[in-house]
A and B are shown apart, each in its own frame.
Chain A
Amino acid sequence: MATTRTKTMLAAFAVGLLTSTAALAGDVRIMWYSDGVEGEVLKDLIGRFMKDNPDIKVTIDNVSYSVVREQLPVQLEAGDGPDIARVTALKALSKHWLDLRPLVADAAYWDTNFGDQADWMRPDGTDQISGFMTQITLTGGFANKTLFEQAGVALPGKDATWDDWAKASKQVAESQQIPFPMALDRSGHRLTAPELAFGANYIGADGKPAPIDEASKAFISKFIGWIEDGTMSKDVWVSAAGSTYRAGADDFINGQVAFYYSGSWQVPNFSTKIGSNFDWVATGSPCGPANCTGMPGGAGLVAIKYTKNPKDVAKVMDYLASEPVVKEFSERTLFLPAHKGVIEKGLDFKTDDAQAKTALGIFVTASTSLADLARKLPGWAWSDTIYGALVTRVSQAAAGEMTLEEAYTRIDADIAAKVKDSAL
């Protein structure tokens, strides 16, 4: 009798344990990272959603970007993870995304409004709806206008080249006694924009990565030269090993660099943190011999195929992708939206900061003059592999560990090894 009771209690305990870890019907977890205020805006929006849909409980797990970049892929490989996630590795992880096409209320609405970026986040050769871009980003430069004015140096104009910006920034740095004239984020994506402006091509005839070409080498050698002569911030590029991401934003915010190459996602960050400390402007991307392109990209909200509640997930996604919600989210976060309808009808960014509004306008204009390859790379499966190899080896060359020629050889070898591994 006692044994039976013990067994019953143990069984009840085990069931209790299992049910406490399994997702309950109506539970939706979102893994979310924030660059600025978007986490707060999402919380507000989701709060309203739950009021209207009391049967669905949405939990937002706010995590750091590194968790999304490093831990989420491992969870996904294990067939685990959240129900929805905000990610930037859209294509590389696309096999883990849920196809929302049969689940959303109106698939045509999604195709019409988010169709341009749909291929960035779905497995090649499918018409899957995996999610939508919460923001479209574009790389571009920022100049500390106050420093330029104090130095009596004119801001280079619209079609200024990388050399023009280097020369002007150097004059400003010398005059204003700041540590570095220029800074560029430690990121392969950021480095790619000027390489494309110099005419680089990443994609081989077979669709696989092409060996590093002369145009890429031309910019990389210029970049390393700038690091060696102090024109470009060395701190950002030698501050880590491997492909670790490092931003130079803090140096710009602290008035330590005259020109900073990053992207549109920094606008709300600068608006909040720089405030009235100094005047700053977005400059668009400097030109190279081939063009003046920036690199598009952004973060997408995707549904994960391992979810236990796909219908509820689709409801949440439908809500977040709806026109009024996208409009409000973009206006409050100062993010460039991907939604065609919202773009066509125009936005009223909720900021009193005239600099931020102007900067966003400049990025919107710049997004119309991108190189073809720049538009293609976010949806190409090998982009991240090239970015990783570029960062690892260029930073070793920047630290003086290897020559440029050795770095080029290593970049090609690293990419070849990854291509070989992926075939296994």
Chain B
Amino acid sequence: MADITRQTSESRTSQSLGEAAMMPVRLAMGVIDAPLRWVQKTFGLGGMAAFFLLPNMLIFGIFVLLPFFINFAYSMTGGSALFLSDRTFVGADQYTRLFDCSNYLAPNTCAEDTFWTAVGNTGWFVILQVTLMIAVSLITALILNRNLMARSFWRAVFFFPVLLSPVVVGLIWKWILQRQGLLNFGLYGFGFDPHVWLNDRNWAFAATVGVSIWAHMGFYTLIILAGLQAIPKDLYEAAEMDGTRAMRVFSRITLPLLMPNLLVVIVLVLIRAVQIFDEVYVLTGGGPGTSTLFVTQYIYETGFAAQLRNPGLAAAASILMGLVLVVLTLMQLGLSRSRDKKGARK
């Protein structure tokens, strides 16, 4: 009897605590209820959706769209003044200067040769880095998805570089790859001739690709790993019972079911690759010569670091780069939609 009384009293206490906790929520609901009803009445259900989207759209407008239009306005002006009001309108001159080229594949024939060198370097970087990043992340995720010993430890090991600042990543690898760096020290110890990796055009470029993969693959591996773990186990069991070969299991079950995750990874890697700057700037500074100069560094140098800055030219280059990113994103969206449609038809 005493137990029942105690239980009832406890239940009453927790009930009143819950009610007390709900009080502010109820109060808030009471306050916003009337205006929301008014919005719904005045603008209808569609208006309600717009109402809830408004804060997000405002933030997007102020921090994304507005800077884009300001940037575009800068790209139509010349001189080194910072304020738009102090700058001279030059129309499409900055774009004409960027595109003033006899042969786009031979940057030496272009007025802005460093821009086209940077475009070429970025193109190669994107092709190599995206392909290798996807392959390495996928293989790593497949391995980490197996029943390994100390699996959590290995997952942490691959994710750890993601936590590092890009400047730290650049410095670590600079200390490894420079003339008197760790790698040459090791090579010398094993009787090999040291090599100045960062002074060699090809090795320096390979280093930028390798370092960026090392620094970011953990993040993409995690996304793929999540996709792998979402694939129902019974599909694999059925395939095993049918005696399906491992490669066929991979191509017919794993890959198709992983595709939504892979698409996300591809688009993220692609965008990040086009924007590459920080770790490369610390690692090679764009050198040797201009062999690791990428578009973002060109924009930075032109707009901010050069002795006589040209914000208009930098803005024009960044608009072009933005357009490339928009095209890449639309391609990804298109691919994603066509896959969804195919899936629905099946």
Contact = CB atoms under 8 A, between A and B. Distances in A.
Interface residues of B, number: 38
Contacts of B155: none
Interface string A232-260: 00110011111110100000001000000
Interface in B278-308: 284-293, 297, 301, 304-308
A235 B309 CA distance: 27
Interface string A68-79: 011101100110
B308 A388 contact: yes
Interface stretch (B80-88, B146-154, B255-263, B331-339): B80-88
Contacts, number: 104
Interface in B73-111: 78-83, 87-88, 90, 108, 111
Contacts of B88: 424
A413 B100 CA distance: 14
B301 A241 contact: yes
B289 A401 contact: yes
A324 interface: no
Contact of B306 (A71, A388, A398): A388
Contact of B83 (A77, A246, A388): A77
A399 interface: yes
Given A238-B288, A242-B301, A402-B108, A77 B306 contact: no
B308 A384 contact: yes
B212 interface: no
A410 B109 CA distance: 11
A238 B199 contact: yes
B272 interface: no
Contact of A242 (B82, B108, B306): B306
B198 interface: yes
Interface string B165-193: 00000000000000110000000000000
Nearest to B199: A238
A309 interface: no
Contact of A395 (B87, B287, B309): B287
B196 interface: yes
A387 B309 CA distance: 14
A324 to B, nearest CB: 36
A395 B287 CA distance: 9
Contacts of A242: 114, 286, 293, 297, 301, 305-306
A226 B301 CA distance: 28
Given A70-B304, A239-B198, A244 B285 contact: yes
B306 A243 contact: yes
Contact of A399 (B114, B289, B301): B289
A418 interface: yes
Given A179-B179, A235-B196, A388 B287 contact: no
Contacts of B285: 239-241, 244, 246
B309 A73 contact: yes
Nearest to B201: A399
A240 B287 contact: yes
A74 B82 contact: yes
A235 B301 contact: no
B144 to A, nearest CB: 37
A242 B81 CA distance: 21
B127 to A, nearest CB: 21
A239 B78 CA distance: 31
Interface in A389-413: 392, 395-396, 398-402, 406, 410, 413
Contact of A421 (B78, B290, B305): B78
B248 to A, nearest CB: 48
Nearest to B93: A424
- Most chain B CB neighbours (cut-off 10 Å) among A234, A235, A406: A235
A283 to B, nearest CB: 25
Contacts of A243: 301, 305-307
A126 interface: no
A314 interface: no
Contacts of A422: 79-80, 308
Interface in B28-78: 78
Given A238-B199, A241-B301, A387-B307, A399 B287 contact: yes
A385 interface: yes
Contact of B307 (A78, A388, A395, A424): A388
Nearest to B309: A73
Given A235-B196, A399-B201, A418 B308 contact: yes
Contacts of A238: 199, 287-289
B308 A77 contact: no
B286 to A, nearest CB: 3
- Most chain B CB neighbours (cut-off 10 Å) among A234, A241, A395: A241
Contacts of A234: 199
Contacts of B307: 89, 92, 243, 384-385, 387-388
Contact of B290 (A179, A239, A241, A418): A241
A396 B284 CA distance: 14
A56 to B, nearest CB: 30
A241 B201 contact: no
Nearest to A383: B307
A246 B178 CA distance: 15
Contact of A74 (B196, B291, B304): B304
- Most chain B CB neighbours (cut-off 10 Å) among A71, A238, A396, A418: A238
A399 to B, nearest CB: 3
A92 B309 CA distance: 11
A410 B310 CA distance: 17
A395 B82 contact: no
Contacts of B289: 238, 241, 395-396, 398-401
A330 to B, nearest CB: 28
A234 B198 CA distance: 11
Contacts of B113: 410
Contacts of B196: 235
A422 B309 CA distance: 10
B287 A239 contact: yes
A381 B35 CA distance: 63
Nearest to A410: B113
Contacts of B179: 179, 235
A387 B179 CA distance: 27
Q: Which are the 10 A-B pairs with shortest beta-carbon distances?
A: A399-B289, A241-B286, A240-B285, A77-B82, A424-B79, A238-B288, A388-B307, A424-B78, A384-B307, A401-B289
12 contacts: A74-B82, A74-B309, A238-B199, A238-B289, A239-B284, A242-B114, A242-B306, A384-B308, A396-B289, A399-B290, A410-B113, A413-B111
Given A238-B199, A244-B285, A244-B305, 5 more contacts: A238-B287, A242-B293, A242-B305, A396-B289, A421-B79
